[in-house]
Amino acid sequence: MKFSVFTVMLPDLTPEEAVQELQVAGYEGVEWRVTHIPEERRREPYSFWGNNLCTLAPSMADAHRARSLVEAAGLATPNLGFYIAVGDLAATEEAMRFAQVAGAPQMRVGVGSLDGGSYAERFAAACTYLAEVEALARRYDVRALVEIHHGSICPSASLAHRLVSHYDPQAIGVIYDPGNMVYEGFEDYRIGVELLGPYLAHVHVKNGAFTRPEGGGVWTPTAAPLEDGVVDFSRLFAALRAGGYDGWVSVEDFSAARPSRETLRHDIAFLRDALAEAN
């Protein structure tokens, strides 16, 4: 397995600074966050989903920039993190052109949530969309990935598999995210890995924990450092190994427990130890 970083977790680093830090820390790849940032947000303090310096614009200029930075640093681009709404085929095709130029073999697409409809309705809409995405993926030779994510119609491996099993696994795959499954959709890692089989295309790692409200009640999930949360990384890596996965593991540490540069060094050391323990 090879380690990369999804740049959403580096809001105070420019892309140029990020690739240098990744190279020094020993990562092998970078997963770019690609989206528009409104000008009014650029005046805000740095944050993961607000004023994030380590975000590329969905333009051909930034696609070339991404490729140049990665090649100069001796890294790879295993995946791209776009924010594409279900049914937006124009944005999907633009993203695939971006991926081609940037040298990325995979990119994320959306599957939708339950907002404004039933699960059956949202599932049908996602199926209709992914059928079109499958054709685009074949045309551009860029694999489209759906992410296991809380708040979506795919919060677990089984629900993701239910959706993607209609399609060619060479064109449509799944991002396995045990950190998101802390919030919603937890299943035993081995079950999820075995079920996804050829659809398991990429892995995101983060951690989460639950906070008990004063006086009791419903516990609240929150981001946590990799080493201190619900996810058992040694068990996760053992399940991935048992399932034959030897691809990319991309870090998404949203705990803000340490400064960005320190987080990069700490997390790769922690993950290497967990991988060694699993082996």
Question: What CATH number is attached to the domain comprising 135?
Answer: 3.20.20.150
209-244 pLDDT, tens digit each: 999 999 999 999 999 999 999 999 999 999 999 999
Give the per-residue pLDDT at 239. Answer: 98
Instruction: Count how many domains the chain has.
Output: 1
- The CA distance from 130 to 124, in Å, is 10
Q: So what's the pLDDT on residue 55? A: 98
Domain that holds residue 208: 2-278
149 vs 64: CA distance, rounded Å: 29
Q: For 14-39, write each residue's pLDDT tens digit.
A: 999 999 999 999 999 999 999 999 99
Counts of helices then strands in the chain (DSSP H, E): 9, 11
Tokens for 168, please give them.
Answer: 């060619």
Average pLDDT, the chain: 97
pLDDT, one tens digit per residue, over 145-161 is 999 999 999 999 999 99
d(CA 102, CA 33): 12
Handedness of CA 33, 136, 78, 102 (dihedral sign): negative
For residue 207, pLDDT over 90 is answered with yes
- Separation of CA 156 from chain center: 14
Q: At residue 116, does pLDDT exceed 90?
A: no
Which pLDDT belongs to residue 84?
Answer: 98
Q: Is pLDDT above 90 for 167?
A: yes
pTM over 0.95: yes
Question: Per-residue pLDDT tens for 181-199?
Answer: 999 999 999 999 999 999 9
User: CA-to-CA distance for 25 and 264, rounded, in angstroms?
Assistant: 7
Q: Does pLDDT of 127 surpass 90? A: yes
Position 279 scores a pLDDT of 87
pLDDT at 267 over 90: yes
